[in-house]
Amino acid sequence: MTNRKEVAKLAGVSEATVSRVLNGIGPMKESTRQRVLQAAKQLNYELNAVASSFARGRSGNLGVVLPHVPKVHLFSTYYFSELLGGIGEAVHSGGYGLLLLFRDPTVVYDYVSLYRTQRVDACIILGSSALETEKTAVHRLADERLPYCVMDQRFDHPQLSIVAADHEQGSYDAVKHLIERGYRKIGFLNGAPQYSNSEDRMAGYRKALKEAGIAEDDTRVYQGNYSRTSGKKAASQVYRDLARLDAVFVSNDRMAIGLMQGLRELGCRLPDDLKIVAYDNSDAASFTEPALTTVKVPFYEMGRLAADRLLKQLAERDRNDASAEPIREKLRTELIIRHSSGK
Amino acid sequence: MTNRKEVAKLAGVSEATVSRVLNGIGPMKESTRQRVLQAAKQLNYELNAVASSFARGRSGNLGVVLPHVPKVHLFSTYYFSELLGGIGEAVHSGGYGLLLLFRDPTVVYDYVSLYRTQRVDACIILGSSALETEKTAVHRLADERLPYCVMDQRFDHPQLSIVAADHEQGSYDAVKHLIERGYRKIGFLNGAPQYSNSEDRMAGYRKALKEAGIAEDDTRVYQGNYSRTSGKKAASQVYRDLARLDAVFVSNDRMAIGLMQGLRELGCRLPDDLKIVAYDNSDAASFTEPALTTVKVPFYEMGRLAADRLLKQLAERDRNDASAEPIREKLRTELIIRHSSGK
């Protein structure tokens, strides 16, 4: 591997001069500059990417900030793996690197410093929540007019960049499907409350019940945290309430799979004893027994869309053509009917 | 955000001088240097991370090179998601960023340039194959004594850094389990031949048959590519041969799930009509019907181990204490017995 020393020797200058020429720093006699560039070329000395990024003010990386949760295999959840897959697709096409940065979800994250220290040119925030500290951190990104996008978390501010899915609509469709099949005693196993995802599902559930003239009943609402274990845990409560439940709407496939496992262990026959509609349409949904009726969310497309839009913003900035338009996208979901919701 | 201009103004020097001081480039009067550092400190001006990396010769990133395959949602496969999860865990603990770099698997990849351009300090290669061009590319990394690790691909050279699992042993255990249950007509659905993973599974399958005095029969060996679709495709061939098959050993869970789906659609009852042992112990293995008997591979631990060892090598290099020892680890697998292999 050619090093700076060899270039300096061939060009007859100091190593510092080589650096200054190649990094475009400071004044330099044109003849010296040419001699260094010539020597570098002759020796096939690549302009160091970091130095060159420094000159351009660019890292060539799209950052993805995601929560680090001990013992949780995050990448093995359909939600994160599909979002990352879509982001990866866009980043690959755009010739960027994808820099994954893990954060402790209990600590306020300084997103802005990622840009200031030039680790990323833009970033996508996964697993964001509605916590006040998170809101403040995201607002700072917007105030600084940095290219960023929050994924699948609603903030009630029209100037924030967000790509999300319409979970209220998706949840409404799920519950309406159960009502149309003649079920009226419909429970709801929701995920953790700090995500707008969970709020939106609750809103959709309520809307469908209300429209059908079914009274809400809080004792039929169960609380999980989107994990399979939490679904399995909820099984004993659901089993206890089985006499006053026709069906349960579950906020994601993982919890639904845990719930079904738990219920089966307690002796339930599915879907005969309880109809279930889940959410996500993960790979697993099609090979559980019974196969899951579930709401398909276009996570992959959401990831790709967010990354594509950010890379476009970066290209516009390069042309000094930066628009101040925030990214605002809400993608539609689709109900996939299989056997868990009955015949 | 404080910029270079403000620091320059306060210190009474040019912006170029600020850059040269903060990047440690070129000669500089000590009094000027102190003035600039004082001004930067007073204005809370962070030393640019890229510039600082350049000074240290470090990016702060561990690279993970992985194949880009159009339309394949790679992160949603248990294999890649768990390996990445383990790598992410180590990288998070070590304070590094994880830079994902996608490669076209049909094009020779110049791993060395990732270091030369300082995009990564070390790298892990996922989805590597036994192709001659790939061997050459990996050997170059070893020749240059760069910190790298190949994941789960065997190369017959003792000086290459590799973390793998013992797939010959795992496959032997799987087939032996079927033999011990009294099955002798054992088929084998293998993955794509360019991976040592597939060769090793074949070796384990053959070893178990030979030991039990069962003659090999090539007409019972089927070819897939580790995808669910390829497993489903193989179902029609397996179905045709059902009379001369007691059981099939399948090289991963995804293909096994596809095979089971396909067989069921053709009217098979499982596990009554055919016993199956799969490989990986993915999440899905426990909730298929019947649940899969499968070989558990510690992918997460493999990823974490490789990344930990590389970060350790980097720390040693910082102390000029670099050992030339390659990373050589082969982790054990474990047979998990469920219902797909019979009662």
Considering only alpha carbons, which residue of chain B is nearest residue A282? Answer: B76
- Please report, rounded to a whole number, the percentage of residues in chain B having pLDDT higher than 90: 61
Question: How is A109-145 classified by DSSP, letter by letter?
Answer: --HHHHHHTTS-SEEEE-S----HHHHHHHHHHHHTT
Residue corresponding to tokens 């510039």: B51
The whole-number average pLDDT for the span A9-15 is 87
Are B48 and A289 in contact (CB < 8 Å)? Answer: no
A257 touches chain B (CB under 8 A): yes
What are the backbone angles phi and psi of residue B320, rounded to the nearest 5°?
55, 40
Give the DSSP H or E segment for A249: strand A247-250
pLDDT band at A8 (very low <50, low <70, confident <90, very high): confident
Are B113 and A46 in contact (CB < 8 Å)? Answer: yes
pLDDT at B54: 47
Instruction: Identify residue A252 by its one-letter amino acid code.
Output: N
> In this structure, what token pair is assigned to residue B146?
């760069």
Angle at A25 between CA A24 and CA A30, to 5 degrees: 60
Question: How is A17-76 classified by DSSP, letter by letter?
Answer: HHHHHHHT-S---HHHHHHHHHHHHHTT-PPPHHHHHHHHT--SEEEEEEE--TT--GGG
- Please report, rounded to a whole number, the percentage of residues in chain A having pLDDT higher than 70: 92
pLDDT at A50: 45
Count the Cβ atoms, other than its own, within 10 Å of residue B245. Answer: 18
Pick the most confident of A236-250, B63-77, B106-120: A236-250
Q: How far is A286 from chain B (nearest CA, A)?
A: 10
Q: What is the DSSP letter of A151?
A: E
- Per the model's pLDDT, the better-predicted residue between A19 and B98 turns out to be B98
Give the DSSP H or E segment for A189: strand A186-190
Q: Is the pLDDT of residue B56 over 70?
A: no
Are A75 and B85 in contact (CB < 8 Å)? Answer: yes
> Which residues from chain B sit within 8 angstroms of residue A291, using beta carbons?
none
Considering only alpha carbons, which residue of chain A is nearest residue B144? Answer: A1
Three-state DSSP state, A158: coil
Residue corresponding to tokens 């410093």: A113
Q: What is the DSSP letter of A215?
A: P
Three-state DSSP state, B61: strand
Q: How far is A93 from chain B (nearest CA, A)?
A: 10
Q: Is the pLDDT of residue A53 over 70?
A: no
Residues B274 and B248 sit within 8 Å (Cβ to Cβ): yes
What is the 3 state secondary structure string of B85-117? HHHHHHHHHCCCEEEEEEECCCCCCCHHHHHHC
Are A50 and B78 in contact (CB < 8 Å)? Answer: no
Which residues 300-329 of chain B have a CB within 8 Å of chain A? 300
Pairing of strands A221-223, A186-190: parallel
A16 touches chain B (CB under 8 A): yes
Residue corresponding to tokens 């009274």: A215
Residues A263 and A239 sit within 8 Å (Cβ to Cβ): yes
Q: Residue A29 class from Cβ within 10 Å (0-12 exposed, 13-18 middle, 19+ buried)?
A: exposed
The whole-number average pLDDT for the span B55-62 is 76
Q: How far is B48 from chain A (nearest CA, A)?
A: 5
Give the DSSP H or E segment for A79: helix A78-94
Are A76 and B85 in contact (CB < 8 Å)? Answer: yes
- Per the model's pLDDT, the better-predicted residue between A35 and B281 turns out to be B281
B78 touches chain A (CB under 8 A): yes
pLDDT at B110: 86
Question: How is A9-33 classified by DSSP, letter by letter?
Answer: HHHTS-HHHHHHHHHT-S---HHHH
Q: How far is B316 from chain A (nearest CA, A)?
A: 21
> In this structure, what token pair is assigned to residue B150?
């190949």
Counts of helices then strands in chain B (DSSP H, E): 12, 12
The whole-number average pLDDT for the span B167-171 is 98
pLDDT at A22: 67
> Which residues from chain B sit within 8 angstroms of residue A16, using beta carbons?
25-27
Are A73 and B85 in contact (CB < 8 Å)? Answer: yes
Are A46 and B81 in contact (CB < 8 Å)? Answer: no
Q: How far is B119 from chain A (nearest CA, A)?
A: 7
Q: Is the pLDDT of residue B55 over 80?
A: no
Q: Count how many residues are written for chain A.
A: 343
pLDDT at B26: 53
A54 touches chain B (CB under 8 A): yes
pLDDT at A212: 98
Considering CB atoms only, which of A101, A117, A261 is closest to B46? Answer: A117
- Hey, of A18, A73, A270, A276, which one would you mutate to test binding to chain B, going by the most B CBs within 10 A of its CB? A73
The whole-number average pLDDT for the span B264-288 is 95
The whole-number average pLDDT for the span A163-169 is 97
pLDDT tens digit sequence for B305-341: 999 999 999 988 877 766 668 999 999 999 999 999 9
The whole-number average pLDDT for the span B136-142 is 90
Q: How far is B334 from chain A (nearest CA, A)?
A: 20
Considering CB atoms only, which of A46, A91, A144 is closest to B117? Answer: A46
Question: How is B133-190 classified by DSSP, letter by letter?
Answer: HHHHHHHHHHHTT--EEEES---S-TTS-EEEE-HHHHHHHHHHHHHHTT---EEEEE
Question: Residue A71's closest CA among B142, B304, B186, B58?
Answer: B304
Q: Is the pLDDT of residue B147 over 50?
A: yes
- Per the model's pLDDT, the better-predicted residue between A26 and B62 turns out to be B62
Question: Residue B91's closest CA among A102, A123, A60?
Answer: A102
Are B88 and A75 in contact (CB < 8 Å)? Answer: yes
Are B81 and A82 in contact (CB < 8 Å)? Answer: no
Residue ranges with strand state E in chain B: 61-67, 97-103, 122-125, 148-151, 162-165, 186-190, 221-223, 247-250, 275-280, 293-296, 328-331, 334-336
Average pLDDT, chain A: 89
Measured distance CA(B77)–CA(B4) in Å, rounded: 46
Distance (Å) of CA A264 to CA A239, B183, B285: 10, 30, 17
Are A283 and B284 in contact (CB < 8 Å)? Answer: yes
What are the backbone angles phi and psi of residue B123, rounded to the nearest 5°?
-150, 155
Are A54 and B59 in contact (CB < 8 Å)? Answer: no
- Hey, of B101, B119, B255, B259, which one would you mutate to test binding to chain A, going by the most A CBs within 10 A of its CB? B119
The least confident of A38-52, A64-78, A166-180, A228-242 is: A38-52
The least confident of A105-114, A287-296, B45-54 is: B45-54
> Which residues from chain B sit within 8 angstroms of residue A20, using beta carbons?
20, 25-26
> Which residues from chain B sit within 8 angstroms of residue A119, using beta carbons?
49-50, 60, 97
Measured distance CA(A89)–CA(A84) in Å, rounded: 8
Count the Cβ atoms, other than its own, within 10 Å of residue A175. Answer: 25
Those residues whose C-beta lies under 8 Å from the C-beta of residue B14, and which sit 6 or more positions away, are B8
Measured distance CA(B132)–CA(A245) in Å, rounded: 61
Measured distance CA(A290)–CA(A270) in Å, rounded: 7
Considering CB atoms only, which of A53, A98, A112 is closest to B100? Answer: A98
The whole-number average pLDDT for the span A256-267 is 96
The whole-number average pLDDT for the span B252-267 is 96
pLDDT at A54: 47
Considering only alpha carbons, which residue of chain A is nearest residue B103? Answer: A92
pLDDT at B343: 76
A144 touches chain B (CB under 8 A): yes
Instruction: Identify residue B219 by its one-letter amino acid code.
Output: T
Are B99 and A99 in contact (CB < 8 Å)? Answer: yes
The least confident of A147-156, B70-79, B205-214, B330-339 is: B70-79
> Which residues from chain B sit within 8 angstroms of residue A84, using beta carbons?
75
Those residues whose C-beta lies under 8 Å from the C-beta of residue A133, and which sit 6 or more positions away, are A108
pLDDT tens digit sequence for B177-221: 999 999 999 999 999 998 999 999 999 999 999 999 999 999 999
CA A170, distance to chain mean position in Å, is 18
- Per the model's pLDDT, the better-predicted residue between A70 and A321 turns out to be A70
> In this structure, what token pair is assigned to residue B274?
């055919």
Are B20 and A19 in contact (CB < 8 Å)? Answer: no
Measured distance CA(B250)–CA(B40) in Å, rounded: 62
The whole-number average pLDDT for the span B148-155 is 94
pLDDT at B1: 47
Are B99 and A102 in contact (CB < 8 Å)? Answer: no
pLDDT band at B75 (very low <50, low <70, confident <90, very high): confident
> Which residues from chain B sit within 8 angstroms of residue A228, using beta carbons?
283
Are B287 and A283 in contact (CB < 8 Å)? Answer: no
The whole-number average pLDDT for the span A322-338 is 90
The whole-number average pLDDT for the span A59-83 is 89
Domains plus CATH for chain B? 4-56 (1.10.260.40), 61-165+300-331 (3.40.50.2300), 167-297 (3.40.50.2300)
Considering only alpha carbons, which residue of chain B is nearest residue A84? Answer: B75
Residues A53 and B52 sit within 8 Å (Cβ to Cβ): no
Considering only alpha carbons, which residue of chain B is nearest residue A289? Answer: B289
> Which residues from chain A sit within 8 angstroms of residue B287, using beta carbons?
257, 260-261, 284, 287-288
Those residues whose C-beta lies under 8 Å from the C-beta of residue B309, and which sit 6 or more positions away, are B149, B163, B327, B329
Three-state DSSP state, B251: coil
Considering only alpha carbons, which residue of chain A is nearest residue B257? Answer: A287
Measured distance CA(B17)–CA(A28) in Å, rounded: 13
Which residues 165-224 of chain A have a CB within 8 Å of chain B? none
Are A116 and B76 in contact (CB < 8 Å)? Answer: no
Q: Is the pLDDT of residue B22 over 70?
A: no
pLDDT band at A27 (very low <50, low <70, confident <90, very high): low
pLDDT at A316: 85
